[in-house]
Structure 1
Amino acid sequence: MATVANPETEIKNWFDAGVRRVIVHIESTDALPQILSMAKDNAHDRHEEDSFYAPREIGIAIDLETPNESLDPWMRDADFVQFMGIAKIGYQGQPFDERVIQKVKEFREKYPDVTISVDGGVSLETASRLIEAGANRLVAGSAIWKSEDIEETIEKFKQLGI
């Protein structure tokens, strides 16, 4: 995973490299329409010079402070949404912010078929609540890397069924 400040200037390089999933923070750019269009245009292209494929999925990440309604204009073109479960983006080990539970619930009610991912503050303790709220993809960093038994922790996440 890589984070860039201006995704519209870098995204073509990622597409050309054959990445499978791109996530653009809605707050990071004014060029979201162009990025989504570019992703859609390259969704299934095969690069003849190598075995890489262009991105298969493009998602939109949203911070806790940004209203869910900000996603509405883009849902036709996005493959999934990623809610941030922490207030301070870009730092491992941040505490889970309870507000994300309600954001996920409200979004799931409005968009029952969209994949919902949550990144930040995801642990074995918060995972079941996020799944119950409607998340069907979780990104766990510190919960795995700081665990006493990484393999066991990964297995426990797998047992959650998502």
Structure 2
Amino acid sequence: MDVVISPSILSADFMNLERELARIAAADMVHVDVMDNHFVPNLTLGLPVVEKIVRVAPVPVDTHLMIEDPDRWAPGFAEAGAASVTFHAEAARAPVRLARELRRLGARAGLALRPATPVEPFVDLLPEIDMLLVMTVEPGFGGQAFLDVTLPKIRRARRAVEEAGLDVWVQVDGGVSAETVERAADAGANVFVAGSAVYGADDAAGAIGELRCLAAGAHAHRSR
């Protein structure tokens, strides 16, 4: 199970975004949160900015759409060149159709769940997606503390993926740091979104390397 580190630009300096993207060239992906101030109480950036990020980012772009009506808007992010487009189960009207459209457009399709949304109703959808995002904070704002109450859900998600024999990534987003990444990895996550833990560090590349090493160690311990 490969470890994927995806720093979130929500914690970056938006006035110097191209420079901030260059700081995380050692990462596997860059996580871009799109919020519409309706699905979540915050407003970030939209498709035109994501298009520019795709052009200058040194790594593939991992978009997380915290928006209403993703059925309408999500395909545009795949068309813009995002490598991965994740939409929320709570917002999508036709998640299977949307996931298939994202894949047809060449993006990995991700399905996100709020902390209180259970995994079980979506297990049958796993063959239709490439990644399941288990939110480890309430979506909307960066800098929140990791919710340990989500660890059993991460375990259930990983178990469901393994029992189905699928290559579906399990992503965690929220409060991921050197203090929490091992717990998430031990529970079965393999994709880690970290904002302030990376962008708040003097050495972003070093912080990325530390997260990757800690997660890989937890995976090795888990597989024994």
**Bigger relative contact order, structure 1 or 2, given CA contacts below 8 A and separation 6+?**
2
Query: In the superposition, relative to structure 1, how do residues 73 and 109 fare at CA in structure 2: closer, same or farther (>3 Å)?
Result: closer
CA contact (8 A) 2:99 2:129 kept: yes
1:72 is matched with 123
Residues 1:41 and 2:95 aligned together: no
Residues 1:22 and 2:85 aligned together: yes
Q: How many residues align?
A: 149
2:10 is matched with none
Q: Please point out which of 176, 181, 189 is paired with 1:127.
A: 181
Query: In the superposition, relative to structure 1, how do residues 37 and 147 fare at CA in structure 2: closer, same or farther (>3 Å)?
Result: same
1:89 is matched with 139
Amino acid at match of 2:75: K
Q: SS in structure 2 opposite 1:111?
A: helix
Q: Please point out which of 93, 107, 110 is paired with 1:59.
A: 110
Q: SS in structure 1 opposite 2:111?
A: strand
Q: Percent same amino acid at aligned positions?
A: 28
* TM-score, structure 1 normalization: 0.83
Unaligned runs of 5+ in 1: 43-53
CA contact (8 A) 1:85 1:100 kept: yes
* TM-score, structure 2 normalization: 0.62
Residues 1:153 and 2:204 aligned together: no
Whole-Å Cα distance in 1 between the matches of residues 74 and 206 of structure 2? 35
1:103 is matched with 153
Unaligned runs of 5+ in 2: 1-31, 35-64, 220-224
- Once the 2 structures are TM-superposed, how far is the Cα of residue 148 of structure 1 from its aligned partner? 4.2
